[in-house]
Structures are given as C-alpha cells and as structure tokens.
Amino acid sequence: MAMNRIQFQSGLSMPAFLNQFGTEAQCEAELEQARWPHGFVCPCCDFTDASVFRVGSHPTFQCKSCRNQTSLIAGTLFESTKLPLTVWFLAIYWISQAKTGLSALALKRLLGVSYPTAWLLQHKIMAAMSERDAQYRLSGRVDMDDAYLGGELNGGKVGRGSENKVPFVAALSLDEDGHPLYIKIAPVPGFTSEAISAFAKDNLEPGSAVQSDGLPCFAAVTEAGCTHTAIVVGNRKPKEMLMFLWLNTVLGNLKTSLSGAYHAFGFAKYASRYLGAFAYRFNRRFKLDQLPKRLLDACIVAGPCPAAWLRSAEASC
Ligand SMILES: [Zn+2]
C-alpha cells in the first residue's frame, strides 16, 4: 500500500517534544532564536545590545541605544498572551500531531485551560496554518472537484443543491504516476465560473493541467491560464471514477476529520480556517516528525493578527 509509508513513519514523540520545549526558558530561547537568528536587533534603530527584564510573565528587551522596549512575544502569534509559552507550544504540538484534527474541547482537556482559551488557541494556530499554506500554489496535473461540508449531519438533500451546507472546491496535484502531492481546499460562494476563476487564480500556477467532472463552471480555470479537461461522468458518481480516486479518498478523510467540528459554533463562518488547517497538515504529511517545529515557525512569523484571523468581541488569551 502506497499510504503505509506515511502511516508508519515515526512522528515526534511527546517525551521528545517535552525534552526540547518542556520549560518556559526553552520556549523563550526557541522564540528568541527564531525572531533574532543572529542575536537581538532593535526594531527602531538596529542596535544589537539590550538589557532584558520581565513585564508580566514574558521577557522584554530594552535597547541600550534608543531605550525602545520590545517584548519577546510582540509581533508574533503569541503577542499579548498571558499564557505561558509552554502551553502555546503544547497546543501547537497536539494540533500538528492530530491526524484527524483536534476539537477545541479536546484541546481544553489536554491543556487544562478554559474552553474559550482553547478555542482561541486552536483558531489562532489554524489561522497561522492557513496563512502559511496560502503562500503556495499547485502546478502540473491537478484534479478538481466540488463538494459540501457540514450538511450530512442535518439530514436533507445530499450533493449539489442541498441546504445548510458549506460549498467548497478542492484541487489535488498529482505526480507522474498519479499519486497525490498537494491539496488546496477553499469554501466558495457557489459553483459559478466567477468563483472557480477566483479559486484558480489564488491556488493554481498558470499552465496547470486541470481535470474535473462535467460541471460547467470548472472550465473557468482557463481564465487563470490553466488548461481544462472535463471527464463526463454521466450518471455515475465521481467517486466511482478511477481518475478521481485519490481526490475522493482525501475528501473522505477531510469529512471524517472535520465531522466533530461540524457541531462547533460558527463552523460555516470559519470553514476556510478548518479547511486551511487540514490542507496544511496534508501537504506536510511526509514529514510528521518535523511538523511541530515547522508549525512553531509558522506561528512565529504569522504575526499577531493573521489575515485570516478576525473575530470581534473575543477575550484575549
Ligand atoms: Zn534601539
């Protein structure tokens, strides 16, 4: 089985992670190294010497030239947090290692924090995942499909045209042997040419060779400089078509992974974040042991308010 190589790879064990990031001092050193790889640099005057003291629980650097003060967590995803960095790092570890996704409720229990805090941690980290993955586009051979999330548990009609569902588009790039490489998934306002054109411009390199079923809107990928081949499936469901086997396998995994999240408050509102987090993890599935560290780096550079992150009237965590 081709997938066994992924399923049986060794991840980063909890003891190994705690060995590296089990204390606040270790987490602070990691963050400092990531922010200033060659030592402290004042954001105001570029001076490289500072005195370090603590305001609250996190270190603050005061430039010895201009006396500007910079918190270690300023400008990162952790900005203004009152939580210890060890809690953030553990949240990042759990989210990076959870193959089937992790609910805010599970995170609350694992970390011993309140539910609102767990929700914020989860959503900020998922926003950082989405933001990092948005920097990449698919190229080469790409299979595309339309699907819905969230409606299965509410009953009602299944498939296109059903109610109370989040419509989304998935694109999966394949290697020369037809094995899956990378995925892009995003909610769309509807299955229209405008929506597909916008999705393709955001997510596909010009020149990609897109294959889809016969839904007319998919032809709009040509507006993004891609070629398009429609495979007419007739009365057969796409999942019965061999050429869409991998895409439908991945979409099945996605639905399993998010089935718990369907119940979450605001699932439809935050669908792009759930989808982006799933894609982030899928796209790095060959390097499970490196995932926690890479996700840490993504959180550090994501900034305090990632573009995908907006929710008013939230308490800070
Ligand atoms: Zn300075």
Whether residue 135 contacts residue 310, with contact meaning beta carbons closer than 8 Å, is answered with no
C-alpha 31 – ligand 1 centre gap (Å): 20
Give the range with max mean pLDDT: 91-95, 163-167, 247-251: 91-95
Three-state SS letters, 191-213: CCHHHHHHHHHHHECCCCEEEEC
DSSP assignment letter at 224 = G
C-alpha 132 – ligand 1 centre gap (Å): 30
Q: Which carries the bigger pLDDT value, residue 160 or residue 295?
A: 295
Q: How confident is the model at residue 108 (pLDDT cuts 50, 70, 90)?
A: very high
Q: Which carries the bigger pLDDT value, residue 48 or residue 256?
A: 48
Residue at token pair 């963050």:
31
Q: What is the pLDDT of residues 217-240, one digit of tens each?
A: 999 999 999 999 998 766 655 555
C-alpha 155 – ligand 1 centre gap (Å): 61
Structure tokens at 198: 């916008």
Q: What is the pLDDT of residues 6-47, one digit of tens each?
A: 666 667 788 999 999 999 999 999 999 988 999 999 999 999
C-alpha 41 – ligand 1 centre gap (Å): 8
Q: What is the pLDDT of residues 124-180, one digit of tens each?
A: 898 899 989 999 999 999 999 998 887 544 444 444 444 457 899 999 999 998 889
C-alpha 85 – ligand 1 centre gap (Å): 25
C-alpha 52 – ligand 1 centre gap (Å): 13
Find the mean pLDDT for residues 276-298: 88
pLDDT in the model for residue 232:
79
C-alpha 89 – ligand 1 centre gap (Å): 29
C-alpha 34 – ligand 1 centre gap (Å): 19
Kindly state the percentage of the chain with pLDDT values over 90: 47
C-alpha 62 – ligand 1 centre gap (Å): 8
C-alpha 71 – ligand 1 centre gap (Å): 13
pLDDT in the model for residue 104:
85
C-alpha 70 – ligand 1 centre gap (Å): 10
C-alpha 60 – ligand 1 centre gap (Å): 13
Average pLDDT, the chain: 84
Q: What is the pLDDT of residues 194-210, one digit of tens each?
A: 999 999 999 999 999 99
Angle between the 14-21 and 85-97 helix axes, to the nearest 10 degrees? Answer: 150
Angle between the 14-21 and 24-35 helix axes, to the nearest 10 degrees? Answer: 70
C-alpha 294 – ligand 1 centre gap (Å): 30
pLDDT in the model for residue 262:
62
Q: Which carries the bigger pLDDT value, residue 288 or residue 161?
A: 288
pTM of the model: 0.84
C-alpha 286 – ligand 1 centre gap (Å): 42
Indicate whether 56 pLDDT > 70. Answer: yes
pLDDT in the model for residue 85:
95
C-alpha 77 – ligand 1 centre gap (Å): 23
pLDDT in the model for residue 38:
94
C-alpha 50 – ligand 1 centre gap (Å): 8
